[in-house]
Structure formats: C-alpha cells, structure tokens
Chains A and B, each alone.
Chain A
Amino acid sequence: MLLSKIIRQITSFRFLSLLFTGLLIAGLSGCEKADLSGPRFEAANPQDQDLSGGTWKTIILKTSATVSVPVPDAATSPAYQQELSEIKRLQTQLSGSQREAIQYWSAGATLRWNEICRQLVAKYNIAPQVGAAPDPQSPFANPVVAARIYALLSVAQYDALVSAWHHKFKFNRVAPVQTDNQIKLLVPASSLPSYPSEDAVVAAASLEVLKFIFPKEAEFLSNKATEHQESRLLAGANVRTDLTAGAALGKEVALKVLDYARKDRMNLAGDAKNTWEQALVPVKWKSLDVPVRGPMLPLAGNVKTWYDSTALMTGLPGPPPAVGSTEFNQALAEVRKIADSRTREQWRISDFWADGGGTPTPPGHWNQIAASLIRQEQCSELRTARILALLNRALFDAAICCWRTKYTYYIPRPSQMDPKIKTATGIPNFPSYTSGHATFSGAAATVLTYLFPQNGENLKKQAEEAALSRLYGGIHYRFDNEAGLVCGQNIGKEAIKWGRTDGSPQ
C-alpha cells in the first residue's frame, strides 16, 4: 500500500514531534498580543516657529487683533514670581500619569485635538434607526457632517493661533525657564513668547467647537482640555496666566466660528420636507437598504462654502452618461466584471479606503494622512493649524459640491441597475454620481501637494487609489470617480488661491 507507506513516513514519531514543537514555539510568539495603546509620538520640536504668523490672514475673525488679550504682569512682579513658584511646587511631585500627559500633549496641540476629533467622528458615525428624527445630542457624523466638523475645528484653531501669535509678539513675555533656572523644562524649548499659551488657545477653541457639536461629550472634552493645559504648567512651559489668557482667547474665537456655523444652512441639509422626491430624472436613484431609508442630506449642496462659491459652482461636474446609453452600459459592465472577479488586493484597497460607518470618514482619513506629513516636516503649531484649515475647508467644500451633483442627476448605484453586482463594501445610501471619495481625495491631494510638494507623486497615487477603491468595491462607476477627482482638484485649486494670499511665506 503506497498510501500507508506515505502516511507512515509523515507520521513518524520523531518528525511529528519536531514539527509540533516548532509550530508551538512559532505559534506562542505569534500569539503575544501587541500593545495597541497610542499612537505614541515624539514631542514636536519645530525649528521654524513662523514668527511672522501674527500677520497672517484670519478666516472668520476680521484680523488677528479682533479679540483682545489683557496686558500680562511683568516678569518682575510678585504675581508672576508666585506663578513661577506654583510650577516649581508642582514639579517636585510629578506623578506617572502627569508625566504621561506631558508626553502625550507635547506631540502637538492641534494634532492631538484633530486626533480626538477623528475618534469622536468615528464614534458618532452610526446611521440612526430608519425613520428616527435627527437627535442634536447625538449627531450622525456621516462624511458631510464630519467634513463640516473638521473644518470648523481647524478654522477655530487657526484663527485662534493667528491671534495668539499676534498677542505673543505684542507682549513678548519670555518662557518661565528663562526667568527662573530652577524650573525644569520637560518639553523641547521654544523660541516663542509664552503669553498667551498656544496650547491653551488650541485646547479651549477645540473644546468649545467639539462640545457644541457633541454635547454629550462635554465632560470628556472638558477633562481633556484641563489635562492639556495643566500639562503645560507641569512641563514648565507656561505659567498659569499664559494658560488663562490663552483659554479665554481660544474660547472667544471659537464662539465666533460657531456663529458662522449656525448660519451656514447646514440645518436645512436634511431636507425635512423631502423635496428630493419631486426631482424628475429618467432613471432615478433609489435606496437599496432594507427597510428603505431616505437619502443622506439631499440639500447639503446648498450649504455655504468656505472658498469662492462662484468659482466652485462654475466648476461643478457636467452630466454623466445617460442611464441606458452605450457608454453607461459599458461602465456598468465594468463594475460587474470587477465584482465577478474581484481579487484579494482589490478587496484590500476597497477596505483600506472604505472609511464607512464607525470610522472617521474619508475626510478623517485625509486628516490622518495630513497629520503624518505634518509630523515628518515638524511644522509649527500655527503652520499645522493653517495646513489643516486649508485642507478641511477644501474637504467640506468637496462635500458640498459632490452632494450638489449627486442630487442634480440622481444616478442609481451599480447594484440598482444590475442586482448581480456584489460589493466589497457597504452601498452608501445616496446617488452614485459623483463619488464622494474621489471628490474628497482630489481636493485633499491637491491641497496637500501644494503644502508638501515633495510628496506630490505619492499623494496623487493615494487619491487615485481612493477613487478606484470605490470601483473595486462595486459601488461606483469609473465615470463617478473620474468626474469626482477633477471636481475635487478644482476645489483644491481654490484652496491654494487662498493659501497664496494669506500672508504666510509659502
């Protein structure tokens, strides 16, 4: 019996025991669970602090001097000496968690709050029950809503920091360590005047915006903001009045940004009267959800844009191939072909860029990409905020332009036209043309290429892959992606125009 001979060979005691021991050792090492805390980032240590930043153009504020900051006590005053003593007292008994907080926040104030915002978006990016009325306490942070949140946060951070830079150089208060050499500086030294504190400005502005959006998180956010500000005191980087002045400034700027938010027409985007049902097109999109769900934010296309709305509306994509035309059918057949023979790599790409429910959405994904570029370049706090404000205004405008296009043409998803098209990702509950992912990615890659030209090639590749991922996923036609990318690139160009005239040396 040949078979039993073979079996005898491979079942020999010694061979098996060795194999088993080897596998077990390999398995044991593989079964160790990785430490998933973090991400842990090095302390930011920008060489260029953008000392001229106080003159840069603000977005919502008229100028960087619009919000005033009280004149600080002189370094020689008893009040200031007492503030120095407070730091020294606190530094004698630093706990482990305090040291950890210092380390955590030193990675960059704007970036940390951006990260917190992405986590909050992910937490709230959960579609409500079908038919449920919108709950202002628990906003559904879908891609459009999320793009608006990122923009409001970044704009508040940026305007507050430009103001802070203005006041810093107006008062020129030196850092505590320069007055008192008994204070230990536990973060990299900064050439910036310390009053008002840029960290307190960012913490307070971020707190104000985020608790307005996510009222249920007020306590969590407030604890974070307190920890953030205290960490600067413990690190020896700021005295108490640097923080209180910064926090007051940050809060006031944020309140002005929220005034803008209340009037941007987003409150009408949900189309409470279902006017979208009246739109007449030859073959109309319908919900593929069970039970059927009303489409996402049909009037988001009417929301106020950040950049030049005339230019943006002129650049909107034209009509797609008519449903049923040869060109359309070819595009549909391509989706079907990919769905029928989807490779593992196509699935991976689809999943990598899916950014669906429970994630920070595509705008969040691009914020993450921007954050890692900012870290590589070691940008100043102010430059970081400028980058994110340029990016996130473009991303929200991308949402507006894309949604306007979606609810002009009401193009059905591929699976509506051919139910045999199976997908590698959830089918979004709104019309197909143009792709939101493509529009976001075209805009983001264009803005980021302007800011990080040496990464241009890679950014372009990422944007193209993000767009293609929707075709691989089976939920978009190629023409959705191509038109979305172009529209996004045009939005990016409007952002660049703004960036070229904001007074920053770039």
Chain B
Amino acid sequence: MAKTFTRLPLTFLLLLLTSGFLPVFAQGMVDGFMKGKGNSSVAFSYSYESYDTYFVGGTSTQNANLGTITTRSLSFYGVAGLTDKLDAIIALPYIKATADQGFWQDQKGFQDGAFYLKYNAYEQKLGNLGSLSLMVAGGISTPFSPYIADAPVAIGHHSTNLDGRLITQFKSNYGVFLSAQAGYVRRSDVKLDRDAVPLPETGRGSPYYNGHTSHVPNSFDYSVKLGFASSLVYADAWLHKQEAGKGTNIGPGIPFPSNAVSYTRTGFNVFVPLPFFPAIGLGGGTSFTLNGKNVGQATRYSGSLVYNLPNWQQK
C-alpha cells in the first residue's frame, strides 16, 4: 500500500505561491506523504490569481486606480526521497503581477526560492484501518532576484523566511486521508529603497519600520486537508489559515512588508496520471480567500505537469 502512495506525484500541491501583497507558499510546500527512498518528481505549474478587492486591516476595499491585480506564476518544484523517512523539497517561482487600471508598472521576476526537509518521525499502523504518521519539516526561502519589496503591484516582500512545522496524517487503506499541519514562519527584516518615517506617537519605542528597514511580521500557519489518493486519481480539499504577528495595516507611507498579513483560504486539487504513461501526470486546482487582513481577496486557478523520475536505486 505504501508503495502505491510513494509513486504518486503529489508534488503539484505546493503551488500556492503568491498574491499581490504577500509571498506565501507555506501551505503547500510539504504534504503528509513521503516519497520513499530513491523516488523523485519534478513539476512545473502555472497559476493565475486575481483580485479586485483587498483588506485594509480587516475592512474590505477596492482601489479604482489599481483595478484588478492579476498575478501569473510559473513555478518549478522538485521533491526527492533521500531515505524512506526523509524528503528534500525545492521550489522556485517566476511571477508577474499586473494591475489593469492606473499606471503602475508590472512587476516580474524570480520570487523566493525554497528548500525544505521533511522527516517522518513516527508511523503507526492501525490494523485494517490504515496508518497514522507524524512528520516534522523545516525550510528556508529566500529571494532569488532583487524584486521590489514595497510597491502597490508587487510579487513579494523580499524577506528571507524560516519555516518550521509539524504534520500529522491519517491515511486509510482505502485511499482516504486526512492531514493537519501547524507551522511558524519567521521572516527577516527587509531593506527598503526609501526612508520610511514612523508615526510620531511611536515616540522612542521601536516601530515596525524606520529609515530603510522594515520588519516583516512572523506568522503562525495552520491547515487541514481531506483527500483521496489512489494510483488512478488524487483529489483533496483544504483549508489554510495564516495568522500574522504584530504589524501595520496597509496605508500611505507605510511599507507593505510591515503589514500584518492574515487570511483564511480554501481550495481543491485533482491530479491524474496519464493512462499509458503514468510517470507523467496532470493536475489542476483552485483556491479562494474567505477573509483576511492586509491581503487581496484572491481567487486562484492552477495547472501542473508532474514527472516522476525512475527510482535511482533500481538499476
């Protein structure tokens, strides 16, 4: 049974990459499945995300001088089973963000490259029911180009992020699985092109930004996923919540990176291997922003092409 799962290229799930105000890809970087030693996959995905409504603090608003902001991204993703208990994951997205009203220039470029390790710390067979596993994962992501951190149309906040998380998954012997994750993302300060002046009432306390430096709030990250995985088809539905620590709300003169970005999103994915060439599979997904703070209320569609490399252990 486990063998069947490891051959499944589940990698296309990660591709929750970004929206105009934030670099996000924590939710999908790791899932509850292990590749198994010697198995590896690479994937390319394309995603299209747009919003015309965004949240300033928790208040939803629109800006006629930006109109709809659309983010298109092409991402490369790879995952490999180093041992049966350890997976390595890499990802790099190329993103273009555009506003359809007003005159702000498009932003495009490589966003943040990510590198994760995931360790399957504990696995318990539950007789005929299935099995339960507990995984820990850690990752780092860092900008791969000098993209602009602080503009109304942006592809990310340009911070280097450290992500630590716990994943637990129950999978039944009949393909149904349920997983949950909790993580904490630590984000580095970013350097701004300009001098940002804190509010006078900040006094001598430490503000979120000052001069050419801005904090980027850390965040807690939770998700649950329910799905079905077999050698013929994979499908899931997920709910993801990011809860930012202290930060600012969107406002004139306030650097975007210092905004406290929180949101709840939900989405669905399906994936099918090609009938006569199962090493290659096609996936599709969609996601919706249910609510948030300082984030676009984005809807996203994505498609991916996954290739499972032959196991390098087998000669």
Chain A contacts to B: CB under 8 angstroms: 1, 3-5, 7-8, 11-13, 16-17, 19-20, 23-24, 27-28, 30-39, 100, 104, 116, 118-120, 122-123, 125-127, 217, 220, 288-291, 339, 342, 344, 347-348, 351-352, 354-360, 364-365, 368, 415, 419, 421-424, 427, 474
In B181-232, the 8 Å CB interface with A consists of 186-189, 192-201, 204-211, 213, 215
CB contacts (< 8 Å) of A16 on chain B: these are 82, 88, 117
User: Can you name the residue of chain A whose Cβ is closest to the Cβ of B102?
Assistant: A290
CB contacts (< 8 Å) of A39 on chain B: these are 210-211
Contact B252 A368 (CB under 8 A): no
B88 vs chain A, min Cβ distance (A): 5
Chain B contacts to A: CB under 8 angstroms: 40, 64-65, 80, 82-83, 86, 88, 101-106, 115, 117, 138, 140, 142, 146, 148, 150-151, 160-162, 186-189, 192-201, 204-211, 213, 215, 251-254, 309-310, 312
CB contacts (< 8 Å) of B199 on chain A: these are 119, 122-123
Contact B82 A119 (CB under 8 A): no
User: Can you name the residue of chain B whose Cβ is closest to the Cβ of A16?
Assistant: B88
Contact B252 A357 (CB under 8 A): yes
Which of B88, B105, B198 is A424 in contact with, Cβ under 8 Å?
B105
Cα-based distance from A423 to B99 in the complex (angstroms): 12
B208 vs chain A, min Cβ distance (A): 7
Contact A13 B82 (CB under 8 A): yes
CB contacts (< 8 Å) of A23 on chain B: these are 115, 140
B168 vs chain A, min Cβ distance (A): 22
A116 vs chain B, min Cβ distance (A): 6
Known contacts A16-B88, A122-B197, A220-B200: A339-B162 contact under CB 8 Å:
no
Which of B148, B204, B209, B254 is A347 in contact with, Cβ under 8 Å?
B148
CB contacts (< 8 Å) of B106 on chain A: these are 422
User: Can you name the residue of chain B whose Cβ is closest to the Cβ of A217?
Assistant: B200
CB contacts (< 8 Å) of B193 on chain A: these are 347-348, 351-352
A39 vs chain B, min Cβ distance (A): 7
CB contacts (< 8 Å) of A368 on chain B: these are 195
CB contacts (< 8 Å) of B205 on chain A: these are 37
Known contacts A8-B312, A36-B213, A123-B200: A365-B195 contact under CB 8 Å:
yes
Cα-based distance from A127 to B104 in the complex (angstroms): 18
Cα-based distance from A104 to B80 in the complex (angstroms): 56
Known: A13-B86, A120-B200, A351-B192. 17 other contacts (CB 8 A): A4-B40, A4-B310, A7-B309, A11-B80, A16-B82, A24-B138, A27-B188, A30-B188, A33-B188, A33-B189, A36-B207, A119-B197, A125-B253, A290-B102, A360-B197, A364-B197, A422-B103
Which among A118, A119, A427 has the greatest number of chain B C-beta atoms within 10 A?
A119
CB contacts (< 8 Å) of B187 on chain A: these are 31
Which of A17, A127, A351, A364 is B150 in contact with, Cβ under 8 Å?
A351
Which among A3, A11, A119, A291 has the greatest number of chain B C-beta atoms within 10 A?
A11
User: Can you name the residue of chain B whose Cβ is closest to the Cβ of A24?
Assistant: B140
Contact A35 B40 (CB under 8 A): no
Cα-based distance from A12 to B220 in the complex (angstroms): 32
Contact A423 B105 (CB under 8 A): yes
Contact B160 A30 (CB under 8 A): yes
A140 vs chain B, min Cβ distance (A): 11
Contact A13 B83 (CB under 8 A): yes
CB contacts (< 8 Å) of B200 on chain A: these are 116, 119-120, 123, 217, 220
CB contacts (< 8 Å) of B309 on chain A: these are 1, 3-4, 7
CB contacts (< 8 Å) of A32 on chain B: these are 188
Contact A37 B194 (CB under 8 A): no
Contact A104 B162 (CB under 8 A): no
Contact B253 A24 (CB under 8 A): no
Which of A1, A30, A35, A119 is B310 in contact with, Cβ under 8 Å?
A1
Nearest 3 CB-CB pairs, A to B? A358-B253, A358-B252, A357-B252
CB contacts (< 8 Å) of B209 on chain A: these are 36
Which of A31, A35, A36, A344 is B208 in contact with, Cβ under 8 Å?
A36
CB contacts (< 8 Å) of A344 on chain B: these are 146, 148
CB contacts (< 8 Å) of A355 on chain B: these are 194
Contact A104 B204 (CB under 8 A): yes
CB contacts (< 8 Å) of A291 on chain B: these are 64
Cα-based distance from A122 to B80 in the complex (angstroms): 51
Contact B206 A36 (CB under 8 A): yes
Which of B138, B146, B197 is A359 in contact with, Cβ under 8 Å?
B197
Known contacts A24-B140, A36-B209, A422-B104: A126-B186 contact under CB 8 Å:
no
Contact A359 B253 (CB under 8 A): yes
CB contacts (< 8 Å) of B211 on chain A: these are 36, 39
User: Can you name the residue of chain B whose Cβ is closest to the Cβ of A351?
Assistant: B193
Contact A37 B210 (CB under 8 A): yes
CB contacts (< 8 Å) of A427 on chain B: these are 103
A-B contact pairs, 20 of them (CB 8 A): A7-B80, A11-B80, A12-B82, A16-B82, A20-B115, A27-B161, A31-B161, A34-B189, A36-B210, A38-B204, A119-B200, A122-B197, A123-B199, A126-B252, A290-B65, A347-B193, A352-B195, A355-B194, A422-B103, A422-B104
Cα-based distance from A33 to B105 in the complex (angstroms): 30
Which of A217, A358, A365 is B254 in contact with, Cβ under 8 Å?
A358
CB contacts (< 8 Å) of B80 on chain A: these are 7, 11
Cα-based distance from A356 to B194 in the complex (angstroms): 11
Known contacts A1-B310, A23-B140, A31-B186: A100-B204 contact under CB 8 Å:
yes
Cα-based distance from A347 to B140 in the complex (angstroms): 28
B30 vs chain A, min Cβ distance (A): 14
Which of B83, B88, B251 is A358 in contact with, Cβ under 8 Å?
B251
Cα-based distance from A347 to B309 in the complex (angstroms): 42
Cα-based distance from A358 to B249 in the complex (angstroms): 13
Contact A288 B103 (CB under 8 A): yes
Contact A474 B105 (CB under 8 A): yes
B210 vs chain A, min Cβ distance (A): 4
User: Can you name the residue of chain A whose Cβ is closest to the Cβ of B197?
Assistant: A122
A359 vs chain B, min Cβ distance (A): 5
B188 vs chain A, min Cβ distance (A): 5
